[in-house]
Structure 1
Amino acid sequence: MLRPNDTDSVPLSEFSFERRFDERGAIEWMQANWSKSFVFSALYMTLVFGGQLYMKPRPKMSLRRPLVLWSLCLALFSIVGAVRTGSYMLHILGTSGFRRSICDQSFYNGPVSKFWAYAFVLSKAPELGDTAFIVLRKQKLLFLHWYHHITVLLYSWYSYKDMVAGGGWFMTMNYAVHALMYSYYAARAAGLRVPRPFAVLITSAQIAQMAMGLTVTGLVYRWLQQGDCPSREDNVTWAALMYLSYLLLFSNFFYQTYLRRCYADTKTSKTE
């Protein structure tokens, strides 16, 4: 871990709200309340599948303007989060190296990053609202979508309370990918024509995120055995299962959406 005077020397400008943020109180609150993530998940599942039944005999809603506003707000939040956590991550990498960027806990209590670490885990609850637009607009609800939302919420709340190793990488990558993803959603909802390669880029970034998540998890397990990478074997197990399932699901989505469809289009054009 970084010593207190090490975090004070981080050469990054802090906003006043970042400086005043009480990370100790946040961690204590999460230690006492992290299990509420199961309540949110159960309520989410009830509303999602109950909502689908409710909407089945009813016409779909447009909700274009609310969707633009929702996606734009999450895009801006993710962009700022990616910049702030990314700047801190680059500082740790530049001054202390790759191993310390994974095993160090200062991401949870260091300047700049401590606020955004807590904001990240809390944001996983309101992000469940993404699915409301799918249900009310009667779009196809993928298993990948709701499974990903629930498991990220459960794992992030479960892990934050223990300040486990690897969290800095997990959060920074997620902020960065969500910055791209929600920007894309906002543009599409606003009726803008977004080139197809941008969608391919987002899914590719998600697959790369899951592969890196597995790599970081494996390194945490390896270094945990040496006693200087704070985590627990049960946490590592859940992280490995989560990232592996994500990697398989996003890779399948990429194949079904881009590769298989491209092959089908090519085959059709040749027979015409």
Structure 2
Amino acid sequence: MSVLALQEYEFERQFNEDDAIRWMQENWKKSFLFSALYAACILGGRHVMKQREKFELRKPLVLWSLTLAAFSIFGAIRTGGYMMNILMTKGLKQSVCDQSFYNGPVSKFWAYAFVLSKAPELGDTLFIVLRKQKLIFLHWYHHITVLLYSWYSYKDMVAGGGWFMTMNYLVHAVMYSYYALRATGFKISRKFAMFITLTQITQMVMGCVVNYLVYSWMQQGQECPSHMQNIVWSSLMYLSYFVLFCQFFFEAYITKTKSNAAKKSQ
């Protein structure tokens, strides 16, 4: 099956990736402004909410989660299909090193939509603050660093981006669907939440593997367009996520399970 056999929608065909890449090259540093405003809103919001009763916000949360779930599912289908075709027809190296993900049919729109989506996704935290839920370091650290790295990398069309974005679309498709179901009051097995965290941990391992492949092929003098600064930042980001998600998994599912079992035995 050829990559060209993938059906293109009109909005994908009409999308001008040259303008998108040019805009990001000129404006990617605005991600620092968004991050600073995000941090200020967290601090200010938590301060204000100390004096107020928490908001319920169930219906807005359902709508928010459903919207992001639908976006992620569609993105995962489109980019996943494109990456699968590259793998099947041209192999692993091409899927990692080829820059066609940024300007090729089907994927070019979803690559840009992905990096832009990291700004509105900061809104996840608004619900946590207004509902006075526990805000962990992993949550806001992850949001800020993904925004900064996505905008920083897209402008250079770095190798590995197709893998990074497709994996994130896939994980978010499952994660936001889970959030939407929970927000509606639907009871879901605890094992499903564990599964989501395990997929996130797996994503971080795969991110490190892709970075290693890019570095190895660059050292061998093969065409795999990236630069050491990007590989270093990306690797540090994925390694930190790996540690933090493993810590979260242990505390949320292992420690609590043992604690609950001990209470029941008393």
- Number of equivalent positions: 264
Bigger mean CA deviation after superposition, 220-229 or 109-118: 220-229
Instruction: Answer yes or no: is the 8 Å Cα contact 1:102–1:216 preserved in 2.
Output: yes
Instruction: Answer yes or no: is the 8 Å Cα contact 1:67–1:189 preserved in 2.
Output: yes
Instruction: Answer yes or no: is the 8 Å Cα contact 1:10–1:91 preserved in 2.
Output: no
SS state of the match for residue 214, structure 1? helix
The answer to whether 1:176 aligns with 2:182 is: no
The answer to whether 1:249 aligns with 2:230 is: no
CA distance in 2, matches of 1:265, 1:192: 23
User: Which residue does the alignment assign to 2:154?
Assistant: 160
Q: Which of 133, 139, 142 is equivalent to 2:133? A: 139
Q: Which of 32, 50, 56 is equivalent to 1:56? A: 50
The answer to whether 1:266 aligns with 2:261 is: yes
User: Which residue does the alignment assign to 1:45?
Assistant: 39
Could you give the per-residue CA deviations for residues 93-132 of structure 1, whole angstroms, max 9, x where no partner exists?
A: 0001111111110000000000000000000000000000
Instruction: Answer yes or no: is the 8 Å Cα contact 1:108–1:163 preserved in 2.
Output: yes
Give how far 1:268 is off: 2.9
Q: Which of 117, 130, 135 is equivalent to 2:111? A: 117
SS state of the match for residue 138, structure 1? coil
Structure 1's unaligned 5+ residue stretches are 1-6
CA distance in 2, matches of 1:267, 1:118: 49
User: Which residue does the alignment assign to 1:3?
Assistant: none
Bigger mean CA deviation after superposition, 255-264 or 166-175: 255-264
The sequence identity of aligned pairs, in percent, is: 64
CA distance in 2, matches of 1:257, 1:250: 10
CA distance in 2, matches of 1:218, 1:268: 45
CA distance in 2, matches of 1:259, 1:65: 32
Aligned pairs (5 A) from 1:23-38: 23-38=17-32
The answer to whether 1:84 aligns with 2:78 is: yes
User: Which residue does the alignment assign to 1:186?
Assistant: 180
Please, what TM-score do these two structures have when normalized by structure 1? 0.95
CA distance in 1, matches of 2:4, 2:31: 33
CA distance in 1, matches of 2:262, 2:34: 46
Instruction: Answer yes or no: is the 8 Å Cα contact 1:68–1:190 preserved in 2.
Output: yes
User: Which residue does the alignment assign to 2:222?
Assistant: 227
SS state of the match for residue 10, structure 1? helix
CA distance in 1, matches of 2:114, 2:239: 21
Q: Which of 227, 234, 238 is equivalent to 1:239? A: 234
Bigger mean CA deviation after superposition, 222-231 or 19-28: 222-231
Give how far 1:40 is off: 0.3
Aligned pairs (5 A) from 1:175-214: 175-214=169-208
Q: CA RMSD in A?
A: 1.0
Bigger mean CA deviation after superposition, 220-229 or 55-64: 220-229
CA distance in 1, matches of 2:261, 2:93: 46
Give how far 1:230 is off: 0.3
Give how far 1:269 is off: 3.0
Give how far 1:264 is off: 1.8
CA distance in 2, matches of 1:261, 1:131: 24
CA distance in 1, matches of 2:264, 2:123: 40
Could you give the per-residue CA deviations for residues 46-81 of structure 1, whole angstroms, max 9, x where no partner exists?
A: 011111001111100000000000000000000000
CA distance in 2, matches of 1:268, 1:229: 55
Please, what TM-score do these two structures have when normalized by structure 2? 0.98
Q: Which of 10, 16, 30 is equivalent to 1:16? A: 10
User: Which residue does the alignment assign to 2:99?
Assistant: 105
CA distance in 1, matches of 2:126, 2:117: 16
CA distance in 2, matches of 1:262, 1:194: 17
The code of the aligned residue for 1:246 comes to: Y
SS state of the match for residue 87, structure 2? helix
Give how far 1:196 is off: 1.1
